[in-house]
Amino acid sequence: MDVGFIGLGRMGRAMAGSLIRAGHRVRVWNRSPGAAEGLEGAVPVATPQEAFLGEAAITMLADDAALRAVIVEGGLIDAPAKPALHLSMSTVSVALARELALLHERAGVPYVAAPVFGRPDVAEKGALNIVAAGPPAAVEAAAPLLDAMGAKTWRFGDAPFRANAVKLAGNFMLIAAIEAMGEAAAFAEGHGVAGADLLDLLTSTLFASPVYKGYGASIAAGRYEPPGFGLALGLKDIRLALAASEAAGVPMPFAGVLRDNLIDAVAHGDGAKDLAALSLVAARRSGR
């Protein structure tokens, strides 16, 4: 397929690489032009308008502000020439997802929300888990692209915002798991047990799942750089989850605790570290 790809951060670059290896023609644009250097097979273009064309356009941008700046304020959705579909793979708010669905409907561009679960190393292997929602025909049209980037596509109906709600729910659970491990490790160390030993036991038995094992190993080793999932981005996602929960009348009290602890971590200079650095909050509060 002829694809435009907007947003070449660590995740976007890896995802574009998977599309290229699968044989798709990929035109790429990033706010920092140097991001495309070394991405063999990519076709760099000078403007986002040149990328928002073709059989599909994919956006993988950092947050609501970045996506809005390019698609809405940048005028792409109102441009005369448009793609056959827009695949939005960013983790953004439910509110923005609803707004974009309406704007795309007015513009006549099928819109699919398809946020992903997985870190950059998983994206490089084309093994992401992708959450997709949108018009069934558009999701089917995007299937060759989704298959190239992910191990499995999980479909959640024809309303795009539902995919974003699922993504935020998943990130809430992931961050809650890290908080639990951090508190448990600090608790164990308060009783003379090495936190690393506790986490080795629990992530090999009761909690032997990828999130617990991966983040548990990082916490045990004190390994927080380079970031696979930045802590500041985790704070952004928890804030989005809280806003969406309030809009739906769904209390999420523990999300409020996570927000405050993430703010604590950022205030202590850990925002650019991996999300596993959230565990430092519990360690610091216990004097360890």
Q: Token pair of 210, please?
A: 């990828």
Spatial CA neighbour of 60 closest among 50, 47, 44, 48: 48
Q: What is the pLDDT of residue 288?
A: 83
Q: What is the pLDDT of residue 33?
A: 81
Mean pLDDT calculated for residue range 245-273: 98
**273 counts as catalytic:** no
pLDDT tens-place string over residues 179-218: 999 999 999 999 999 999 999 999 999 999 999 999 999 9
Rounded Cα distance between 131 and 152, Å, is 9
Chain-centre distance for alpha carbon 94: 14
Residues 6+ apart with CB under 8 A from 41: 20, 21, 26
Average model confidence (pLDDT) across the chain:
97
CB-based contact 110:82 (threshold 8 Å): no
Q: Token pair of 152, please?
A: 């499995």
CB-based contact 271:265 (threshold 8 Å): yes
Rounded Cα distance between 219 and 280, Å, is 9
pLDDT tens-place string over residues 82-96: 999 999 999 999 999
Q: What is the pLDDT of residue 285?
A: 97
Could you tell me where the beta strands, DSSP code E, fall in 175-256?
none
Q: Which listed residue (82, 125, 152, 167) is catalytic?
A: 167
Mean pLDDT calculated for residue range 229-243: 98
pLDDT tens-place string over residues 24-63: 999 999 998 889 999 999 999 999 999 999 999 999 999 9
HSE (side-chain half, CA atoms, 13 Å) at 50 = 10
Q: Which domains does the chain have, with CATH numbers?
A: 2-159 (3.40.50.720), 164-285 (1.10.1040.10)
Rounded Cα distance between 86 and 34, Å, is 24
Q: What is the pLDDT of residue 287?
A: 93
Mean pLDDT calculated for residue range 228-246: 97
Q: What is the pLDDT of residue 199?
A: 98
Q: What is the pLDDT of residue 238?
A: 98
CB-based contact 163:39 (threshold 8 Å): no
Q: What is the pLDDT of residue 4?
A: 98
Rounded Cα distance between 62 and 251, Å, is 26
CB-based contact 58:25 (threshold 8 Å): no
Mean pLDDT calculated for residue range 161-181: 98
Rounded Cα distance between 233 and 96, Å, is 17
For residue 151, give the H/E element and its range: strand 150-155
DSSP β-bridge partners for residue 88: 59, 113
Q: What is the pLDDT of residue 117?
A: 98
pLDDT tens-place string over residues 103-137: 999 999 999 999 999 999 999 999 999 999 999 99
Percent of the chain with pLDDT over 90: 98
